Amino acid sequence: MKPINRRQFLQNSSLIAGSLFALPATSLAFEPQKNFNSIQVKGKLSAQGKGISNVAVSDGKYIYYTDSSGNFEFYTDRSFVFFSYPSGYRFNILENGSVDFFRKLDFGKAINEVHFELTPNPNSEKSHHFITIADPQVQSAGEADQFIKESCSDLRKTVERLQDPNTFGIGLGDLVFDEFELFEKYNQGIKSTGIPFFQVLGNHDIDLQARSNEASQYPFSDQYGPAYYSFNRGGKHYVVLSDVFFLGNKQYYGYLDETQLSWLEQDLKNVEKGSELVVFLHIPTYSNVVNFNSGRDINKESVINREVLYSILKDYQVHLISGHVHWNENNVNTNIFEHNTAAISGAWWTADFCYDGSPKGYGVYQMKENLSWHYQAIGEESSHQFRLYNPGAHPDFPEEYCVNIWNWDPEWKVYWKENGVRMGEARQEVTYDPKAIQLFTNRPADAKHPWISPQRNAHMFFFHPNSTQKTVEIEVIDRFGQIYREKIH
């Protein structure tokens, strides 16, 4: 038998899939084969009694579209049916504070009938905000209470300051630290912020005793539904991916399976090429934490098959927003800007900063024509964008001033001035934060999480004034032209 050329096979498969998905949703319904565990799904999306047409509805494998009356119908052997929120409608909220966009299917019934009733949004969505929190990772009732009283209280203040009725939140995974009963506390916290939240699956939100990757996800999916999905806001498209792949024996890798990749290709078919696209996931597709620090596992700190994802995203201007690493890092790679968000728990609730010196906090984003953002440290003003250390603070550079600029990216500028005159740009070094060195080096065995250690990062800057007799100032300018200053003497 002549072997099949792989490239030609994939091309043919794509053509077949493409021709199928061009058909109306009802045309895709099929009779289940014998011994095939499929059920029929019939449903409708409507608002104010009128059906909503051309809304993407999915079972996580295939994507269908509502007809002119808002109806959809298909057969499936998958656990959920969910839809991609269209722009112009309010997010319905579940009792747990997260967005309601799915229904769990009952395989005891041959036919499942589902109805999604939406409410038009009275507010223009052209400009909207979202807030990303990474790794709350609560492991005890005390940590959960701290998350509620400290972190969520700060989030609420930010929401009030934004004064935007279209603000929503994203939990970037590791919502709890293997203690699933604490989901209730996490939910209590996000509900207190007053905004709807979408959730991302993290490696500490799965059952590490499960027999397979699919079976491991129930602690998350029972609470928040499917682990990957999409939605729209103000004409912009947002995607949530699930990149934690459980291997068994309490092990996981950063990996995107074929079913999800195929679903993503279908999901993007109606997204205009060249447009700005935001993708949320837990494990960053790439992180320098492995390059800069020994003993780290690249398979756990990044997505192994990221090049495939990049290929799917090549026609868009993409912002990847992730968590997982408990540090802050921005990487720019051609059309992809990856924001790796510092943990809102800091170094696993042992300090008010992460092991790269980034303060515990969260990302605040505004979408207008294009996306803008800043990092918000908990308990600080939005102008708190760096930490300055005097000479002697850093053991490797004892004669120089040290500046940790946690949300730095290559478009930022870092100057030092004498008597109001710029003297030059600060020098970038890959090294440790002095506070992280002091607190996390050689932790005693009986300390909380004794394995925490300082981590080398690339957002450290140094300079040496010409004279101690002059007024010295550090001036930091972000990519949006915002200026942050601090006088030294």
CB neighbour burial string for 119-139, b if at least 16 within 10 angstroms, e if fewer: eebeeebeebbbbbbbbbbbb
Sequence-distant (6+) residues with CB within 8 A of 73 are 25, 26, 29, 40, 41, 42, 43
- All domains of the chain in start order, with CATH: 18-118 (2.60.40.10), 128-377 (3.60.21.10), 387-487 (2.60.40)
Model-level pTM?
A: 0.92
Q: Are 483 and 469 in contact (CB under 8 A)?
A: no
> What residues are paired with 46 via a beta bridge?
51, 117
Calpha distance 105→113 (Å, rounded)? 9
Q: What is the pLDDT of residue 25?
A: 39
Calpha distance 456→290 (Å, rounded)? 10
Tell the residue number behind the tokens 């769990």, with chain if given: 104
> For residue 107, what are its two tokens?
């395989």
Q: What is the pLDDT of residue 7?
A: 38
Q: What is the pLDDT of residue 28?
A: 41
What is the Cα Rg of the chain in Å? 24
Calpha distance 314→113 (Å, rounded)? 38
Q: What is the pLDDT of residue 336?
A: 98
Tell the residue number behind the tokens 């991916």, with chain if given: 241
- Write out residues in the chain with pLDDT < 50, as ranges: 1-35
- Kindly write down the DSSP assignment for every residue of 306-362, as one continuous string: HHHHHHHTTTSEEEEEE-SSSS-EEEEETTEEEEEPPBTTTTTTSSSB-TTSPBSEE
pLDDT in tens, 101-151: 999 999 999 999 999 999 999 999 999 999 999 999 999 999 999 999 999
Q: What is the pLDDT of residue 36?
A: 59
Burial of 415 (0-12, 13-18, 19+ CB in 10 A): middle
Rounded to 5 degrees, φ, ψ at 267 are -60, -35
> For residue 21, what are its two tokens?
């998905």
